């Protein structure tokens, strides 16, 4: 079985991926948040900063992701990325945000299988890398997803990841496993399951329903509980070991940001984002998160962190 860390904009950036691998492990491949190929003019500068080979810990398996509905732009970006040494590039046709979907990108393109075919006709002409696709069930319904899979089956893809929600659902409701199964059964490419794996029990349920699927992508669940991947693989850390690792992880993230961000407010804001997911098992009542959200000075922030990591608290399973 292989576990992938899902791309999460703003969170699973290079620093996070590297420290995640160092402190928690359990993840086989890290998918980086999407780069929008519409930003052609910026293509030589800051756009690639999160995936430059030198920002990755040596040996970490990272897959860059592109958001695009323009084959020429995609090819330009993909060739640049491939030349950096990346073996796989992932095409995002799942992003549900209206700003993206109204331009027929992300899950917005799922209602247009003809556009997907045209795109892949061009992109797959001279592939020099492994192309994988991350999608949802459809923009509005499963019928769209079925047509998309028919198109994807005609191209030499190296894998398809499906998040079992429609784009319209955004992150509401639950994953639709019956709909996922329809797409999985009709897809001829290697399948990765994605969506709502928050606990080892969730993983076990999905695994027993789809015993032939070998690849699972963990998103929010792995940010909320960074030990999830290693626990799925049989990890045996105690809660007090987890508590202490979380403190070291926090300190490493904090000291990195402190070295590159100037100004208390900016640094506090960055750490607030970090805590959005990370607080759940350390602060189940939300009492510390509330205090963190109010911090505007580093002095105040560190005081709350010292309270949170006081030995009288702990990691709550």
Ligand X SMILES: Cc1cc2nc3c(=O)[nH]c(=O)nc-3n(C[C@H](O)[C@H](O)[C@H](O)COP(=O)(O)O)c2cc1C
Give the residues lining the site for ligand X (CB under 6 A): 6-9, 33-34, 65, 92, 94-95, 134, 163, 171, 194-197, 218-221
Q: Could you tell me the smallest distance in angstroms from the CB atom of residue 222 to ligand X?
A: 7
Chain-centroid distance, C-alpha 226: 13
Closest CA relative to residue 80, chosen from 59, 64, 69: 64
Name which of 6 and 246 has its Cβ closer to ligand X: 6
Report the residue count for the chain. 317
Whole-angstrom distance, CA of residue 106 vs CA of residue 172: 17
Q: Could you tell me the smallest distance in angstroms from the CB atom of residue 264 to ligand X?
A: 25
Name which of 160 and 305 has its Cβ closer to ligand X: 160
Chain-centroid distance, C-alpha 58: 20
Q: Could you tell me the smallest distance in angstroms from the CB atom of residue 27 to ligand X?
A: 13
Name which of 82 and 194 has its Cβ closer to ligand X: 194
Name which of 139 and 305 has its Cβ closer to ligand X: 139
Name which of 56 and 192 has its Cβ closer to ligand X: 192
Whole-angstrom distance, CA of residue 38 vs CA of residue 51: 17
Q: Which tokens sit at 24?
A: 């928690």
Chain-centroid distance, C-alpha 8: 4
Q: Could you tell me the smallest distance in angstroms from the CB atom of residue 24 to ligand X?
A: 16
**CB-nearest residue to ligand X:** 219
Name which of 64 and 113 has its Cβ closer to ligand X: 64
Q: Could you tell me the smallest distance in angstroms from the CB atom of residue 312 to ligand X?
A: 31
Whole-angstrom distance, CA of residue 13 vs CA of residue 50: 6
Name which of 218 and 229 has its Cβ closer to ligand X: 218
Name which of 108 and 221 has its Cβ closer to ligand X: 221
Q: Could you tell me the smallest distance in angstroms from the CB atom of residue 51 to ligand X?
A: 12
Q: Could you tell me the smallest distance in angstroms from the CB atom of residue 192 to ligand X?
A: 10
């Amino acid at each position: 079985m292989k576990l992938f860390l899902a791309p999460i904009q703003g969170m699973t950036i290079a620093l996070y991926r590297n420290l995640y691998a160092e402190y928690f492990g359990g993840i086989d491949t890290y998918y980086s948040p999407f780069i929008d190929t519409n930003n052609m003019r910026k293509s030589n500068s800051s756009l690639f900063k999160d995936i430059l080979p030198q920002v990755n810990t040596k040996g970490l398996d990272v897959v860059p992701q592109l958001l695009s509905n323009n084959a020429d732009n995609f090819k330009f970006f993909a060739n640049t990325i491939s030349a950096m040494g990346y073996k796989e590039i992932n095409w995002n046709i799942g992003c549900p945000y209206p700003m993206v979907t109204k331009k027929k990108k992300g899950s917005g393109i799922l209602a247009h299988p003809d556009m997907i075919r045209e795109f892949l006709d061009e992109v797959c002409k001279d592939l020099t890398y492994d192309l994988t696709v991350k999608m949802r069930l459809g923009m509005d319904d499963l019928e769209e997803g079925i047509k998309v899979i028919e198109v994807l089956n005609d191209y030499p893809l190296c894998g398809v990841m499906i998040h079992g929600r429609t784009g319209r659902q955004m992150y509401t409701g639950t994953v639709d496993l019956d709909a996922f199964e329809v797409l999985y059964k009709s897809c001829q490419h290697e399948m990765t399951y994605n969506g709502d794996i928050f606990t080892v029990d969730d993983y076990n349920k999905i695994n027993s329903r789809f015993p032939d699927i070998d690849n699972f992508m963990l998103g929010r669940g792995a940010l909320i509980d960074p030990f999830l991947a290693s626990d799925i693989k049989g990890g045996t850390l105690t809660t007090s070991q987890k508590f202490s690792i979380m403190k070291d992880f926090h300190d490493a993230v904090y000291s990195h940001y402190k070295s590159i961000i100037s100004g208390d407010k900016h640094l506090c804001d960055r750490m607030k984002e970090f805590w959005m997911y990370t607080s759940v098992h350390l602060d189940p009542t939300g009492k510390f998160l509330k205090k963190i959200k109010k911090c505007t000075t580093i002095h105040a922030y560190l005081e709350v962190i010292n309270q949170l990591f006081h030995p009288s608290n702990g990691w709550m399973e």
